[in-house]
Amino acid sequence: MQLPFIVELFKSIKQSTELNHLTCFVDSNGYLAKDGWNKLLPYLDGAMIDLKAWSLETHQWLVGRDNHRVIESIKWLGKHKKLHELRLLHIPNRSDLDQEIGQVARLIYALPKDVIVRLNAFQHHGVRGEALSWPKCSQSQLEGFHRNLAAIIDNPIVTPSVYL
């Protein structure tokens, strides 16, 4: 994210009598530091954050970085009522969110109850390299994850309407 540009864009939208009816949302991987979120806070209506794995090792293996800052961003945005959606990516036999469901649920439980939890099924579109050989997430696999998570959290959960 180009933070200075986004801050100025959102600020301009909020200050414009012609545009201030628009909402300002960020779709993020969650790696923005707290200082950056603080700069956005006055102009931000909400954020959608991706969590790809729970354990540091699995997240590091999947994306090349640990997830500490992602989880901190999720908590910080929740505390400031700016987390609109938490996106959980299910990659069969690769991600660990289904195996660490208790830890994931504890994180979600600490968030406002209106935060939407979106379950995303891994597919090959938009993917490069080694990940093209990973198995796609089927509808039944995601439905199983959904059932298990819905049994332990109260937040609304959204699943895909199409599986390609």
Convert the pLDDT of each residue in 101-119 to its tens digit. Answer: 999 999 999 999 999 999 9
Using alpha carbons, list the distances in angstroms from residue 55 to 37, 60, 109, 113: 24, 8, 18, 24
Convert the pLDDT of each residue in 134-147 to its tens digit. Answer: 999 999 999 999 99
| pLDDT value, residue 1 | 54
| pLDDT value, residue 125 | 87
DSSP H helices, the chain, are: 3-15, 34-40, 56-63, 68-79, 101-109, 139-150
Report d(CA 14, CA 66) in Å as an integer: 34
Residue whose C-alpha is closest to residue 138's, from 103, 77, 93, 101: 93
For residue 28, what is the enclosing H or E element? strand 25-28
The pTM for the full model equals 0.93
Report d(CA 24, CA 11) in Å as an integer: 9
All domains of the chain in start order, with CATH:
25-158 (3.20.20.70)
Convert the pLDDT of each residue in 20-55 to its tens digit. Answer: 999 999 999 999 999 999 999 999 999 999 999 999
